[in-house]
Amino acid sequence: MTRTSDSPEHECRQGKRCKSRIRDSEEHWRGAGVERPDSLCRGCEGSAFDAIRELGSDCRMLASARTMTRSKVSAPKVSGSSERPVPISLAADTLLSDIEIESLRWAVRLTRGEPIPTSGALAVICSRLGTLVDMPAQVVTAWRPHPDGGDDVTTLVLDGVDAILRLADLHRRAGLVLGLTPQRVNFLREPCHVCGLSMLEASVKTNMVKCHSCRNVWDQDQFARLNNPLVAA
């Protein structure tokens, strides 16, 4: 689209997912105008900041959830084992680990390598969100699970906006794991990495992804790690 004099020079990094998105003359969703390239509009930035401030509460609820036995209603009906309690929620345990790794990654950069205070990495981040979102791009090292087992080391170039969005997404994932997000089933557009067909179903209720073609089933966190290196980092 050719911009007019009234069109913003830059758009919110969130694009069509922008909280303040608008339709252009061709009926396409566009991000709200921003002053700087690769930045967030006020709506998206504020929403992300609010989500990050909830991570401390998320961690406390996840810590309780990972040791809570599944109820008979939500537990799968498996012959001979349906009455056995599951002492640890794998999804909750995995997400707690991801929150710890991601928050520590950015807290260390905010403190410039100084020891993290006893209040913790999340407290450092929440007290310096404005500084974090403006952080320039830098190379970070991450581990990515390999489909055949084990982990691969990879590098990513991430800036402060990436940091904010990645941390905010952890709050979204916490809502799914804790059952705070309305239950629904989504059909994914991407193809299955095993059979190559676009027949994937993601269930919020069970936190599982199922392929209706090859019948493979994954925990949503595991599926994200196998299919998206940005999520795995």
pLDDT, tens digit (0-9, with 9 covering 90-100), for 103-112: 999 999 999 9
* pLDDT tens digits along 32-82: 889 898 899 999 999 999 999 999 999 999 988 877 644 433 444 444 444
Distances (CA, A) of 169 to 35, 175, 193: 24, 10, 23
Phi-psi region of 207 (alpha: psi -120 to 50; beta: other; left: phi over 0): left
pLDDT at residue 99 above 70?
yes
* pLDDT tens digits along 55-64: 999 999 998 8
The helix (H) or strand (E) run that includes residue 130 is helix 129-133
Which stretch, 18-27, 139-148, 151-160, has highest mean pLDDT?
151-160
pLDDT at residue 131 above 90?
yes
Position 206 scores a pLDDT of 65
Which residue(s) pair with 142 in the sheet? 154
